[in-house]
Amino acid sequence: MGQTQLDWWRSAVIYQIYPRSFADANGDGIGDLPGITSRLGSLKSLGIDAVWLSPFMRSPQKDAGYDVSDYCDVDPLFGTLDDFDRLLATAHSLGLRVLIDLVPNHTSDQHEWFKRAVAAGPGSPEREFYHFRDGDAPPNNWQSMFGGPAWTQLPDGQWYCHLFDSSQPDLNWENPKVQEAFEDILRFWLDRGVDGFRVDQPHAMGKAKGLPDHPDVERAGAGFIEGEPSPPMWFQESVHPIFRKWRAILESYPGQRAMCGEAYVLPLSFMALWVRPDEFHQTFNFRYLDSPWTAKDIRKTIDESFDAFGAVGAPSTWVLSNHDVMRHASRMGGDFGRTTASDGVGPNDPQPDAELGLKRALAATLFTLGLPGSMYLYQGEELGLPEHTTLEPEFRQDPTFARTNGARVGRDGCRVPLPWESNVNESSGFNQTGKSWLPQPAAYANYARDLQEGVEGSTLETYKWALAKRKELNLGHGTFEWAEDLCSESVLAYRNRSLLVIHNFETNETTWKLDS
C-alpha cells in the first residue's frame, strides 16, 4: 500500500456535488443521479479523490433535500436505488470514493416517524421520537436558523421543535429507538458500498435537559457566541457516545469508511473534540472559510488549525465554498462579511467585482491546495463560477427567503446549475432541454467547461495543474513550515516538502528573488 492509500481521508481532495445542479440527464431542469454518473469522467480528469453528494434521498424538497422523508430510498426526482448503485460502481471503477450526506438532526414532516407521531397524539411513544411540548405559548425562546421561532403548534395544542424550517422537526436523540434506527440507516448505505458520510448538523442533535431558554437569544439569535457557554441547542456533550458508536460501525466494514461532521463548533480547540480518534474522521474547518482573507487572519487560523487538530491526531480540512455560502469567487470580490456570505446577495445589494474576485479566489485556492490535510471543493469553483447575485425574488427557493419575508435572500445564488457547454442552449449544456430549476446568470455561458478544457491558463486547467502537483508531491500527507523570511504584513509563504508557496494578499504586483 503506497502512502497515499494510507488513511485516504487524511489527505483527500473531496469534491462536493450538489445533485440538483450538477447535470440533468432527463431534461426536467433538475440534476439527477444518471446525470452525475455521465459526468464522473470529467471529475476524474480534474484530479480529485472522492465526491460528497448532498442529499438525494426521498424528500419533499422543502430545504433542497435536507428534509428527508425516507433515508433508505432515492427521491424519484433524482432517480432510483439502481441509479445510485450504477453511480457508485462507476465512481469506484474510476478510483473515486463516494461520501453521502446523512441528515440526523431532523427529518421531514412527511417522514413516517413524524406522521405516526402526529397521528398517535400527545403522550404516545411515537411522540418521543421528536421534541413535543404542551403550552399556550412556544415552550422556550429558541429561534430557527432560517428565521422565526423554532416551535410550531399542531392542531391538538402540542408544539414541536425545529431548529430549521417548520417542515424539519428535530429528532429526540435521547430516545434509544432513534439511535437504533440511524444505526440501521448507516448499515443500509455501508452495505451498498458507500465510502462514508458527511453528517449534517451533528452539533445540533443534543439538546440541554429540560430545553431551557437560550440565555442570550437577543444577541445570538439562532447561533452562538464564540467563547461563551454552549447554548442549550448546540454542542451538548451527550452526543459524543453516539458518534463513537458510529465510528465503530464504520470500522467494522472493510476499506476505510470515513465520516466528516458538519460540526460548526468554535474555537477550533473545541471543534477538535469532535475528531478525537474514536469519533469523526474529519470536520469542516469553517474557521478557515470564515476568516477574513488577510495575511494576519489566515496565518492565525492556519496555526490554530494545526495546533487544535494536531493535538488529537486528526488532519485539518480546508474549505472555501459550499452550498450554504456565497461562492468565494464573488465573496472575495467585495467586502462581504460572514453574515452576508451565508445569506447571499440580491439584486439590490452592492455587487461584487467579478474580475478581482476570481483572481483572488484562484490565488486563495492555490494557496490552500498546498497545505497538508484534506481539501473540500464545491462544484463549479473549478470553473471560477461567480455567485448568482441578481436572482429575482420569484425564483428564490431557500426557505430562509420566505421565513424572513425576503430580508435575507438566502443561499440560492451558490446553487445555480453548472454550465457544461457554452451556447448549446439556455442552460449551457446542464441538460439537453435548456430547462433549469434556477436560471443561470447570462455570464455563466462564459465560464462553461468546454471553453476552458485544454485552454492554458483557464481556471479549470489551473485547478487540474494544482491538483496534479498536489498528488505528485503527496502534499496532503506533507509537512508544514512558515517560510518566515518571505512573510510580511501582506504576504504569507510556507513550505510543504519541496514546495514553496508564496501568497500576496494585496493587489499590487510583487516579485521575489529566491536563492535557489
* Minimum distance from residue 424 beta carbon to ligand NOJ (Å): 30
In this structure, what are the phi and psi dihedrals at residue 452, rounded to the nearest 5 degrees? -105, -25
Catalytic annotation on 28? no
- 63's contact among ligand NOJ, Ca ion, none, with CB below 5 to 8 A by partner kind, is ligand NOJ
CA–CA gap between residue 36 and residue 19 (Å, rounded): 7
Pair 334, 351: CB distance under 8 Å:
yes
Q: Please name every residue paired with 50 in a beta bridge, in sequence order, or none if there are none.
A: 14, 97
- Nearest in space to 73 (alpha carbons), one of 55, 57, 54, 53: 57
335 given a catalytic annotation: no
Which one among 28, 228, 307, 506 touches Ca ion, defined by CB under 5 A? 28
CB of 16 or CB of 368, closer to ligand NOJ = 16
Among 164, 243, 274, 463, binds ligand NOJ (CB under 6 A): 164
Question: Which one-letter amino acid corresponds to residue 257?
Answer: R
Q: How far apart are CA 390 and CA 400, in angstroms?
A: 17
**Interaction between residue 324 and ligand NOJ (CB under 6 A):** yes
Residue list 244-263, contact with Ca ion (CB under 5 A)? none
Return the one option of ligand NOJ, Ca ion, none that residue 201 interacts with (CB less than 5 to 8 A, by type): ligand NOJ
Question: Is the link from the previous residue into 229 a cis peptide, with omega within 30 of 0?
Answer: no
Q: In whole angstroms, how close is the CB of 20 to Ca ion at the nearest point?
A: 8
Among residues 108, 201, 236, 317, the one that binds ligand NOJ under rule CB under 6 A:
201
**Separation of alpha carbons 379 and 258, rounded Å:** 21
Rounded to 10 degrees, what is the CA torsion of 277, 278, 282, 286?
Answer: -90
Task: List the one residue from 8, 18, 56, 66 that touches ligand NOJ (CB under 6 A).
Answer: 66
Tell the smallest beta-carbon distance from residue 204 to ligand NOJ (Å): 8
Question: Could you say which of 83, 126, 262, 387 is catalytic?
Answer: 262
Site membership for Ca ion, residue 24 (CB under 5 A): yes
Choose which of 30, 74, 145, 460 interacts with Ca ion (CB under 5 A).
30
Cross-strand pairs, 149: 143
Binding mask 19-58 for ligand NOJ (x = CB under 6 A): ----------------------------------------
- The interface mask with Ca ion, positions 67-106, x = CB under 5 A, is ----------------------------------------
> Which CB sits closer to ligand NOJ, 62 or 470?
62
Q: Which position among 13, 57, 103, 409 is part of the footprint of ligand NOJ (CB under 6 A)? A: 103
φ, ψ at 300 (rounded to 5°):
-60, -45
User: Residues 6 or more apart from 256 whose CB is under 8 A from it?
Assistant: 7, 8, 9, 195
Cα–Cα distance between 426 and 215 in angstroms, integer? 50
The interface partner of residue 30, options being Ca ion, ligand NOJ, none and the CB cut-off 5 to 8 Å by kind, is Ca ion
Dihedral (Cα; 7, 8, 13, 19), 10-degree rounding: -120
First to last CA, the chain: 34
343 near ligand NOJ (CB under 6 A): no
Strand pairing of 13-17 and 50-53?
parallel
Least Cα distance to 468 among 59, 49, 162 occurs for 49
**Interaction between residue 279 and ligand NOJ (CB under 6 A):** no
Q: How many residues bind ligand NOJ (CB under 6 A)?
A: 9
Cell output for 197: 458520510
Any idea which residue has 465560464 for its cell? 447
Q: How far is the CB of 425 from Ca ion (least distance, A)?
A: 15
* Number of CB atoms found within 10 A of residue 353's CB: 13
Q: Is the peptide bond before 315 cis (omega within 30 degrees of 0)?
A: no
Q: Which does 28 bind (CB under 5 to 8 A by kind): ligand NOJ, Ca ion, none?
A: Ca ion
Q: Which residue is nearest to ligand NOJ, using beta carbons? A: 66
What residues line the site for Ca ion (CB under 5 A)?
A: 24, 26, 28, 30, 32
Q: Any idea which residues carry the catalytic annotation?
A: 200, 262
What residues line the site for ligand NOJ (CB under 6 A)?
A: 63, 66, 103, 164, 200-201, 262, 323-324
